[in-house]
A and B are shown apart, each in its own frame.
Chain A
């Protein structure tokens, strides 16, 4: 690409002498990164005070994915200072930019790009101020540890240069190319800033906040989705020691007490004394396929290319995924306080601004009267109970003004009432041509909404239980290319004739929302399982068959690297063991991930265990290599758990999988012997994000390895022991 002279000067002035960026990697010339365009003031992102403290503001939140550390690394390099010099403030409606949700593996793409751009401009602005102050040409200034030094020895520190509104200027697109400057912090596996407190019992989570005067509350959920509350015995509960108030509004029922365990006991008594009418209204179907296919759908053709070729071997298959849980290890928690008609809510929501909008509607309050502050919770992996419990707390703060009200869900609340990962059915048909290539491809995915996040009060569980209930807004699918239930429904392969249809279902038997990867998990499972079936039909090695259909050189490199590191070509199958391979580019526009997996299958017990995994990932420019590995390793293990064990079960009355015994997840005895993640760094290329890249490939690679090991092709998730034994 060409570099205009002005831009070249600026790069040189900033001390960035490397001009070797090869491709247009960032927003087009004349555009700001999306988050910065929305909040263009530099001092909304970076502030410097007289004590030389540099504070960085982001609208994204730490979810255990390491975003705080990675963002600090990005800013540190742009400002040419050590990351330890920086303080970071994460999403807070009163203090930080609004960056929407921390979701979709978008945080580095959004906030990373915005902060890199803003920090580069802050550096440029400080340099100009230093030049004026030191009466030296800007280009001649050295910058070290937050101090500009003129050739004659004059010095001006960041804190001296910013005495007022110097940084209250708008970011400009033209003057701030995302030049690869010196990579001092970027590219290093800087230890995560949040881990020391987490391993030593520091106050690390919203669950750990103890505010002065804080009281505790528990909500008594209805015994089933449609249960109606007939009668409660509030008086008996009020007689318990420590109980401050019983709150009832419609079928929203809760108790507030001094002392957390007293609240727990009071809620138990409240539940025992409540009379409900519990109609059995949940439709029960013999299979996930029957359940999903019975729901009305709104089809959209998201890919139509070529025609039906017809000539060759026809293959068809149907894949299914049950409802699954985010199943956070720490039940959702929030604290809310109402003082002088103003609410403060401490929450682990992934989106404090959309939550504030929903709470404003719920509480009939102005948005300005509500402040939502993010404090970390346990990992959520998408839209779990975080927003709902914040609404619980806000409703109870309204009923009990003055003191902070802390609500933590019990395990059965979390398992029973979080919005589930959506059930899915994927039907695929393809023709294998005589040349061993896919001649045509037809794919239909049926699924309810994968995004019912707040924004509206009706998206908050307790709002739907009030005497005057809020109705959930009609969900809508997200458009391609990111998609939602149809995320990754379009294969990343060369297919001259293809048709892909998203059968979006506006209603769902059970409430569903975003879970790590959205539809990509099941779509990649289906596509990559089917690619394996096609490869076998073509009598071609599954890796070679994929490479035959891949055009993107980065995809090819990732696939080859994973295969090579696994020892794919030299692999010798041993008894009970087999290997599987899968590839996807997340959302077809983000990270590339290829996995080669070996499993061990005990057919007599039905037990499948992943023994080893070799993965390769290209997520663009890597800010923190170990952070990427941690995310991918975690994604592989979590996806293995979903794939081998997990499904929500329910009967006509209620959800049955309300604890870890009924909904088991992977334990230490079942985790692989070894997981290797190999990274391909692309300095100068956009950050692509990593959090969700492995979910789909892991599922398909495991299923393909199971087939390789024992000849069973399982197309219904999970590949649990019951299903394995039945198929044997």
Chain B
């Protein structure tokens, strides 16, 4: 066991764990954050997507010892059920979930795009979202939700 000092959702955390533990397990089990999900453990599906230093990463592939001082953000950073963030609200408005297991990863993947590009084209959204899998076939709604959030942000909405 080693103690790791992590910056997660704007707060410092100290975690005692094995160095090879993937960030995903630390977020879920040590920090009790539900958003990032175990989907494959292979970096193939995106259910575990979080943002690390502004970039979307699959947290199932990142050992906690490799995180260092980089700021980690999960879907919990964007808002909660009472005060959802713009992207979360857009997913609610479009009812862009069926089982919803992939959705927190989808939202973080989309968030990484909108933080860099406030006016993405539909083609850019599709290309950017490609690493993430959805099995329920909610793709059309997810694309609409990201579009809606982008438009809302472009109109001056707060992230």
Q: Which residues of A contact B (CB under 8 A)?
A: 63-66, 189, 191-192, 194-205, 207-208, 210, 241, 259-262, 264-265, 327-331, 376-379, 381, 408, 410-411, 626, 630-631, 633-638, 640-641, 659-661, 665-669, 671-672, 674-675
Q: Which residues of A contact B65 (CB under 8 A)?
A: none
Contact between A329 and B95, CB atoms less than 8 A apart: no
Interface flag for B32 (CB, 8 Å): yes
Contact between A207 and B38, CB atoms less than 8 A apart: yes
Contact between B25 and A195, CB atoms less than 8 A apart: no
Q: Which residues of A contact B1 (CB under 8 A)?
A: 241
What 7 A-B pairs have minimum CB-CB distances, sorted nearest first?
A637-B137, A64-B99, A198-B100, A201-B35, A379-B99, A378-B101, A634-B137
Q: Output the least CB separation between A615 and chain B (Å).
A: 12
Contact between B75 and A669, CB atoms less than 8 A apart: no
Q: Which residues of B contact A189 (CB under 8 A)?
A: 95
Stretch at the interface among B41-49, B51-59, B112-120, B151-159: B41-49
Bound form: Cα–Cα A203–B80 in Å:
12
Contact between A200 and B88, CB atoms less than 8 A apart: yes
Interface flag for B14 (CB, 8 Å): no
Q: Output the least CB separation between A381 and chain B (Å).
A: 8
Contact between B130 and A330, CB atoms less than 8 A apart: no
Contact between A637 and B140, CB atoms less than 8 A apart: yes
Known contacts A199-B75, A201-B35, A668-B130; decide if A261 and B97 are in contact (CB<8 Å). Answer: no
Interface size on B, residues (CB 8 A): 59
Contact between B34 and A376, CB atoms less than 8 A apart: no
Bound form: Cα–Cα A379–B132 in Å:
16
Kindly name the residue among B39, B99, B130, B134 whose own CB sees the greatest number of chain A CB atoms within 10 A: B99
Partner of A200, one of B18, B20, B39, B79: B79
Q: Which residues of B contact A198 (CB under 8 A)?
A: 97, 100, 103-104
Q: Which residues of A contact B130 (CB under 8 A)?
A: 667-669
Contact between B101 and A329, CB atoms less than 8 A apart: yes
Q: Which residues of B contact A667 (CB under 8 A)?
A: 130, 133
Known contacts A195-B95, A379-B99; decide if A261 and B21 are in contact (CB<8 Å). Answer: yes
Known contacts A208-B34, A261-B22, A672-B140; decide if A376 and B84 are in contact (CB<8 Å). Answer: no
The closest CB in chain B to the CB of A259 belongs to B29
Bound form: Cα–Cα A65–B97 in Å:
9
Bound form: Cα–Cα A534–B106 in Å:
44
Q: Which residues of B contact A (CB under 8 A)?
A: 1, 17-18, 20-22, 25, 28-29, 32-35, 37-42, 44-45, 47, 74-76, 78-81, 84, 88, 91-92, 95, 97-104, 107, 126-127, 129-130, 132-143
Q: Which residues of B contact A66 (CB under 8 A)?
A: 98
The closest CB in chain B to the CB of A201 belongs to B35
Q: Output the least CB separation between A620 and chain B (Å).
A: 21
Contact between B39 and A329, CB atoms less than 8 A apart: yes
Some 30 contacts from A to B, beta carbons below 8 A apart, are: A64-B97, A64-B136, A65-B98, A191-B92, A195-B95, A197-B81, A199-B84, A199-B100, A199-B107, A202-B81, A241-B18, A259-B17, A260-B28, A378-B101, A378-B135, A408-B38, A410-B41, A633-B140, A634-B98, A634-B138, A635-B137, A637-B137, A637-B138, A637-B139, A659-B44, A660-B44, A666-B139, A668-B142, A668-B143, A669-B126
Q: Which residues of B contact A637 (CB under 8 A)?
A: 137-140
Contact between B99 and A63, CB atoms less than 8 A apart: yes
Contact between A660 and B133, CB atoms less than 8 A apart: yes
Q: Which residues of A contact B92 (CB under 8 A)?
A: 191, 195-196, 199
Q: Which residues of B contact A327 (CB under 8 A)?
A: 135
Kindly name the residue among A205, A630, A638 whose own CB sees the greatest number of chain B CB atoms within 10 A: A630
Partner of A207, one of B33, B37, B138: B37
